[in-house]
């Protein structure tokens, strides 16, 4: 295995509590010789809940990734449901950039025939469906939502867990889902109690994305620089 | 990370040279504390080149996996392009079962917009397309084939490499492909020279699948036993 | 019309009661000069309810078909919902091989805009959806299931009929279905009472498949031996 | 089997030579106790080569079918590539109405993985694709065309055969087709020489549709009168 | 902008009240220098509620359009939900022909992510879905229906409005719809009260189609005479 | 018709020559009482040729639109192929926001069965395909590209025209295209010579989008504020 792969977990929002959780999760899961960083933009939005938030967050991410490239970072995990700005990040990254949403979908597709996403708040269904469609999995995955703001996820209190479990149950019963994807970063503490309550795999995308990023580095697979993800013609930051 | 994960790489054919290559590849890529085995059925087909071969190989795989389950194996990598018999294996496996084809497609989708598979022989295009369609990626991935039998891949000689490169070039030029997936197990030695010749990522699925399997175990994601992949009603081997 | 076409109805399970029903159905529906046989493997599974069962049943089918080929059988009807092992059978058959599921779907598509399948048990929804997707009809056909085991279909008792009617009604009301496909072989006795109760076409695939097989023979249409369904490279049984 | 099923082959154009060919084909293929009629409108278009032709032909068909319904005709075969007016005919028919295009596609899907249609003239590709899309088979079937007018098909001369073979060969080589569908009614005489030249199944839809219509009648499957194909609210001909 | 564009709104049914409403709507919305006509066939059906009605209406439309072509009409709006006969009209029209259904769908797609159609009566769902599928929007648009006959729409009474609002609410709540398309021509008076009640855009296709027709004329975009919409080979009316 | 609709044409790049062309085009096509503005960000990118450019341009657009909203602008035309940032703009706009790409696709779908886009440079194919897929038109529209940078479009010289015509011809011959969409803003001067050379409709999206925007305003159709395009939770610019 590659020695000393440096992988940056990118939190596109500025909420430090989330970034810290992501760092802790990453360090717990990473291989012994992987160097894990969790980074977020200095300025931006406290959470990503709409396309305007995505626009702000994407520019912030580009700044962070430009710095990381200078350090020779080997791979990135994009830790925001909907994989905000991932195409732009791919253009300036040499190594692979793995979105938590696409990683979660790949994992779910491996362990279940039909599955569902439970995201929040309801207006972000469009962002999740963007990735589901991009991977052609709409026929196996329904996107469901609970009416909770991302800010309310900081506390991880009981009502959040209850709402996630109730909506997941609807997915199991109405959609034939056999696995559930957590539709928000930073909720890895919910995995165990939800799996316990539901009896099916509960998938948290950041952890999967991290191991997939390690795997791509180990296999020498980097972002293709032919076509859509080639370096920007004017570079970044623009000259 | 899970200590001592035991992962079996399943070669559905009986050609020992392939099984050995898979074991070597697995050991090179696995995390330090992963125990890697490469296994194949005692009896069966020398290569999997048609649906009849798949039928034979699948029963062989079930025998191997039943043994591995008794050892508490944590995850499986199915090392046959087309992911032969993967649904049946999932039914008797507790841990995740990752196909080399689905893993390669997930990797390609991360590093390129459009990509192609180069498989062999031409009659197996239907097997590759089965997985591409299962993942909904047909609009981004064309399956191409070269007229070489699987048996001829044992030697890994220059003509095989040349044919792979030539067909890949057609994919880059005619399909807008920006990455190439090797459509056969046991060809990892071709990755470096093809990447060199083509200038795009060349993806070998077994290596990706192995790291993805490690990642699923590390994240506690197992095969869902609700619905399609529940244990067979009469068990295995049947009582 | 071809004189003396010999058509074998293949029951992939070993339950003689089903095989007998299939033979009776076939003889009732066949043209006067068609020779009908219903055959099943000597050893195998009592019913096909999962992918593991399919793996076992497929090998059994190959043995039966190899024998039939020696007799010059002109066509085959695969009498198992999900069309178990049909690709492998096609490889060793010279004549056409018609699955009951694909035949039922073609019939339903002719007489209704939207329709539904009612299959059993629920875990087999994935098998039915495989065929629905293969034919591109998912947008017109929803797969529904009742919680009955295949074994319980032997008796054909009133509770089975009631469950089929109740689930079909949900299809008519919730999916806009205008026809119902019976999602299990051997249930042709249910057709009349269901049609009576529901007032829409109720389609049993084996009977349709048989007439379609006769039609293909009469028209001189055999399995293509170019590409995916060519004879296995090593023959069958393997030399 | 139903005794004395009466099946009408509907030729939507007014060219008697085609109607006669259809009658001859039908009588050759029908079961001994099937009564075959081939009918066409008295007034209308000499061939159906565009949507305007379809509009004229459809009204003509409705007149013919209204008469046939009075005779208790059991089923219809629509003998025009593109299945002109089939939805309207279904509304006034009690029995099943089988289009030659949909029947040919069902047959091709049974004997080949990928296949192609060779139709004529090129402007009618849209009509063929309408049926291919309706059946969800676009991913397996490409529509090709030769630059010949329908009128020129009356003579069935050598240049027509040559053009069909040449275009079919392009389908085999470029699309991976393993079977060819004749994209025009009345060309059954081309089947044998094309099959000879190409070495793959060549499918003529009228013959398949006839046997499928017999099969639907034998199985008691009629047009659903719930939903889309219910009788017209004002009857036909309108009161 | 083109001076004096002449645009004909085509009502395929013979109900004068609808034609008058369409003329009034068109004149209210048209640019000052657009000449608006609303026309319907002299003979035909009082409303278009099935495929048989469509067959009759299409021939009527062709007569009207042939007359308009002689006047040099620049564009057409097809004012019937389902865009009855639009392909045939395109063949004999020089200018663009805009269907109210396709126009409504384009508008809805601009202002909402998911949306629904509320059409009537239920049997016409197939006609609406034909256009939705033609535009590839089935994944964002569900077709709903209320059990009201088109004739009952003449009066535009309160029960119609109530039924439309109730069904639309189900679309907002169950389908995630964020806009509603009125699935019948002649209902523009419902737009304001429905928008008021629902709080989302309510889209009436005729008005949108008219402005789109003006826009196509202004941009010099006419019906392509290459391929599918070329003039009929025998002209119209046929020589 | 609405009196005095104010419509802003948004050029996401900072190249004044393009903005001026857009203004001229808009004023030529707009209704007499429409007030047309063409606006671009003060700072940003000279052209939008990759996802990083899109990220920069989107933020610039949001600034412009926030100002326009204060002026009560009624609708927007997004004049960048790929409809850069359109979802974010919709969130802060009250009126409709029409992308040039989606408008061009709607127009092409009205006048042709199959059509193609000719965009530039090749790496932006992914941006065009994003919109084609969003509208579900991939089965009718192929995206083609010529190897010219956006900057080189300023001069509109003969080589650009020649390249566009040559690539369009390939679309007509190889894809069955019957209309061509110009895949870049600011090229309206190419429409006439290309139409002349090709004999099919050549569609420039900005002009179509402008008339469609007028039409939506005239019909009272605004951006839905339920669901995906609701105002950003924290407003814009963020409080």
Q: What is the pLDDT of residues E15-45, one digit of tens each?
A: 999 999 999 999 999 999 999 999 999 999 9
> Nearest residue of E to residue C174 by CA position?
E144
Contacts with D174 (C-beta within 8 Å, 6 or more apart), sequence order: none
C vs D contact (3+ beta-carbon pairs below 8 A):
yes
pLDDT score recorded for residue B157: 84
F138 touches A: beta carbon within 8 Å? no
Cα distance between residue C46 and residue C58, in whole Å: 13
Q: What is the pLDDT of residues A186-237, one digit of tens each?
A: 899 999 999 999 999 999 999 999 999 999 999 999 999 999 999 999 998 8
Q: Do A31 and B31 touch (CB under 8 A)?
A: yes
On average, the pLDDT of chain B sits at 95
Contacts with F122 (C-beta within 8 Å, 6 or more apart), sequence order: A227, F145, F146, F147
Tokens of A163: 């709402």
Q: Do A133 and E113 touch (CB under 8 A)?
A: no
Cα distance between residue C143 and residue A176, in whole Å: 11
* Residues of chain A above pLDDT 90, percent: 91
Residue with tokens 């710095």: A67
pLDDT for B118 beyond 80 = yes
Which of C125, C126, C138 is opposite residue A139, by nearest beta carbon? C138
Rounded to an integer, the average pLDDT of C47-73 is 97
E strand or H helix at A1: none
Strand partners, A37: A8
A137 touches B: beta carbon within 8 Å? yes
Rounded to an integer, the average pLDDT of B86-91 is 98
Q: What is the pLDDT of residues A167-179, one digit of tens each?
A: 999 999 999 999 9
Cα distance between residue E33 and residue E36, in whole Å: 9
Distance from the Cα of F36 to chain E's closest Cα (Å) equals: 14
Extended beta strands in chain D, E state: 6-10, 35-39, 75-78, 97-99, 115-119, 141-145, 180-183, 202-203
* DSSP for residue A182: E
Q: Pick left, alpha or beta for residue C83 (phi over 0 → left; psi -120 to 50 → alpha; otherwise beta).
A: left
Buried-state track F117-151, b at ≥16 Cβ within 10 A, e below 16 = bbbbbbbbbbbbbbbbebbbbeebbbbbbbebebe
pLDDT for C115 beyond 70 = yes
Q: Please, which residues 83-122 of chain E have a Cβ atom closer than 8 Å to chain F?
A: 90, 96-99, 102, 106-107, 109-114
Q: Do E214 and F216 touch (CB under 8 A)?
A: no
* Cβ–Cβ < 8 Å for D77, D206: yes
F158 touches E: beta carbon within 8 Å? no
N- to C-terminal Cα separation, chain F: 36
Distance from the Cα of D2 to chain C's closest Cα (Å) equals: 9
Residue with tokens 């009951």: C100
Which of A111, A136, A226 is opposite residue B137, by nearest beta carbon? A136
* Cβ–Cβ < 8 Å for D214, C219: no
| Dihedral, CA of residue A105, residue A109, residue A114 and residue A115, to nearest 10 | -30
E strand or H helix at A102: helix A100-111
Q: Determine phi and psi for B86, rounding to 5 degrees.
A: -65, -35
B vs C contact (3+ beta-carbon pairs below 8 A):
yes
Tokens of E101: 């259904």
Contacts with E63 (C-beta within 8 Å, 6 or more apart), sequence order: E41, E237
pLDDT for C36 beyond 50 = yes
Cα distance between residue B196 and residue F98, in whole Å: 45
Q: Do F29 and E110 touch (CB under 8 A)?
A: no
Which of C111, C216, C229 is opposite residue D96, by nearest beta carbon? C111
Distances (CA, A) of F176 to B231, F120, F169: 50, 21, 10
* Cβ–Cβ < 8 Å for D229, C111: yes
C vs F contact (3+ beta-carbon pairs below 8 A):
no
Residue with tokens 């004044």: F16
pLDDT for A1 beyond 80 = no
C138 touches A: beta carbon within 8 Å? yes
- Largest pairwise CA distance in chain F: 55
pLDDT score recorded for residue E3: 58
What string of DSSP letters covers chain E? Answer: --TT-EEEEE--S--HHHHHHHHHHHHHHS-TT-EEEEE--SSS-SS--SHHHHHHHHHHHHHHHHHHHHHT--EEEE-STT-TTHHHHHHH-SS-EEEHHHHHHHHHHHH-SSEEEEESSGGGHHHHHHHHHHTT-TTTEEEEE-S--GGGGSS--HHHHHHHHHHHHHHHHHS--SSEEEESTT-GGGHHHHHHHHSS-EE-HHHHHHHHHHHHHHTT-----SGGGSPPTTTTTT-
Q: Do F106 and E106 touch (CB under 8 A)?
A: yes
Cα distance between residue B105 and residue B108, in whole Å: 5
Q: Determine phi and psi for A119, rounding to 5 degrees.
A: -115, 180
> Nearest residue of B to residue F122 by CA position?
B176
Q: Do B111 and A222 touch (CB under 8 A)?
A: yes
Distance from the Cα of E57 to chain F's closest Cα (Å) equals: 20
Mean pLDDT by 10 residues, chain F (239 residues): 81 95 96 96 95 97 97 97 98 98 98 98 97 98 93 84 97 97 94 98 98 98 97 87
Angle subtended at Cα C62 by Cα C60 and Cα C65, rounded to the nearest 5 degrees: 115
pLDDT score recorded for residue F237: 84
* Cβ–Cβ < 8 Å for E110, F216: yes
Q: What is the pLDDT of residues B62-72, one digit of tens each?
A: 999 999 999 99
Which of E125, E133, E138 is opposite residue C176, by nearest beta carbon? E125
Cα distance between residue B50 and residue B128, in whole Å: 11
- Test mutation, D48, D52, D64, chain E, max E CBs within 10 A: D52
pLDDT for C150 beyond 90 = no
Q: Do C139 and E133 touch (CB under 8 A)?
A: yes
Cα distance between residue C52 and residue B237, in whole Å: 10
What band does B204 get if pLDDT is binned at 50, 70 and 90?
very high
> Nearest residue of C to residue B54 by CA position?
C88
Which of E51, E59, E122 is opposite residue D55, by nearest beta carbon? E59
Distances (CA, A) of C119 to B90, C13, C80: 22, 17, 11
**ipTM > 0.95?**
yes
Q: Do C107 and D221 touch (CB under 8 A)?
A: yes
Crossing angle between the packed helical segments D100-111 and C205-218, to the nearest 10 degrees: 90
Q: Do C54 and B123 touch (CB under 8 A)?
A: no
Cα distance between residue D127 and residue F23, in whole Å: 42
> Nearest residue of D to residue F173 by CA position?
D122
What band does E1 get if pLDDT is binned at 50, 70 and 90?
very low
N- to C-terminal Cα separation, chain D: 36
- Test mutation, F113, F174, F175, chain D, max D CBs within 10 A: F113
Q: Determine phi and psi for C185, rounding to 5 degrees.
A: -75, 160
Q: Do F238 and A88 touch (CB under 8 A)?
A: no
Buried-state track B21-39, b at ≥16 Cβ within 10 A, e below 16 = bbbebbeebbbeebebbbb
* Cβ–Cβ < 8 Å for E2, E29: no
Q: Is C239 helix (H, G, I), strand (E, B) or coil?
A: coil
What band does D150 get if pLDDT is binned at 50, 70 and 90?
confident
- Largest pairwise CA distance in chain C: 55
What band does A96 get if pLDDT is binned at 50, 70 and 90?
very high
Tokens of C71: 């007799």
Tokens of E80: 């019937």
Residues in chain B within 8 Å Cβ distance of D176 = 125
Residues in chain F within 8 Å Cβ distance of D50 = none
Which of C96, C138, C208 is opposite residue D111, by nearest beta carbon? C96
Between residues E120 and A1, which one has the greater pLDDT? E120
E strand or H helix at B36: strand B35-39
pLDDT score recorded for residue C1: 44
Distance from the Cα of E132 to chain C's closest Cα (Å) equals: 12
Contacts with A34 (C-beta within 8 Å, 6 or more apart), sequence order: A4, A5, A6, A7, A214
Q: What is the pLDDT of residues B138-159, one digit of tens each?
A: 999 999 999 998 878 878 889 9
pLDDT score recorded for residue C238: 74
Residues in chain C within 8 Å Cβ distance of D207 = 215, 218-219
Q: Is F54 helix (H, G, I), strand (E, B) or coil?
A: helix
Q: What is the pLDDT of residues C181-213, one digit of tens each?
A: 999 998 999 999 999 999 999 999 999 999 999
Cα distance between residue F167 and residue A227, in whole Å: 18
Cα distance between residue C97 and residue D109, in whole Å: 11
What band does D2 get if pLDDT is binned at 50, 70 and 90?
very low
pLDDT score recorded for residue C2: 46
pLDDT score recorded for residue A2: 46
* Residues of chain E above pLDDT 70, percent: 98
Q: Do F219 and E211 touch (CB under 8 A)?
A: yes
Q: Do C234 and B45 touch (CB under 8 A)?
A: yes
pLDDT for A31 beyond 90 = yes
Contacts with D113 (C-beta within 8 Å, 6 or more apart), sequence order: B126, C227, C228, C229, D140, D176, D178
Q: Do F204 and E219 touch (CB under 8 A)?
A: yes
CA neighbor of D76 nearest in space, from D61, D58, D57, D95: D95
Q: Pick left, alpha or beta for residue F220 (phi over 0 → left; psi -120 to 50 → alpha; otherwise beta).
A: left
């Amino acid at each position: 295995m590659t020695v000393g792969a440096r992988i940056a977990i990118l939190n596109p929002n500025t909420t430090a509590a989330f970034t810290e959780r992501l760092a802790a999760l990453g360090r717990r899961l990473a291989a012994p010789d992987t160097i894990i960083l969790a980074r977020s933009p200095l300025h931006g939005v406290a959470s990503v809940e709409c396309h305007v938030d995505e626009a702000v967050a994407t520019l912030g991410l580009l700044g962070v990734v430009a710095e990381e490239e200078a350090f020779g970072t080997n791979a990135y995990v994009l830790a925001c449901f909907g994989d905000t700005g991932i195409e732009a990040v791919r253009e300036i990254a040499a190594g692979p950039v793995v979105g938590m949403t696409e990683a979660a979908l790949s994992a779910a597709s491996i362990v279940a025939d039909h599955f569902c996403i439970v995201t929040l708040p309801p207006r972000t269904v469009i962002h999740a469906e963007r990735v589901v469609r991009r991977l052609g999995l709409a026929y196996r995955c329904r996107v469901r939502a609970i009416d909770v703001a991302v800010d309310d996820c900081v506390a991880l209190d009981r009502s959040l867990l209850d709402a996630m479990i109730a909506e997941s149950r609807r997915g199991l019963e109405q959609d034939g889902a056999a696995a559930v994807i957590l539709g928000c970063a930073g909720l890895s503490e919910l995995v165990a109690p939800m799996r316990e309550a539901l009896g099916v795999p509960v998938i948290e995308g950041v952890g999967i994305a991290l191991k997939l990023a390690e795997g791509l580095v180990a296999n020498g697979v980097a972002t293709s620089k032919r076509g859509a993800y080639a370096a920007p013609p004017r570079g970044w930051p623009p000259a």
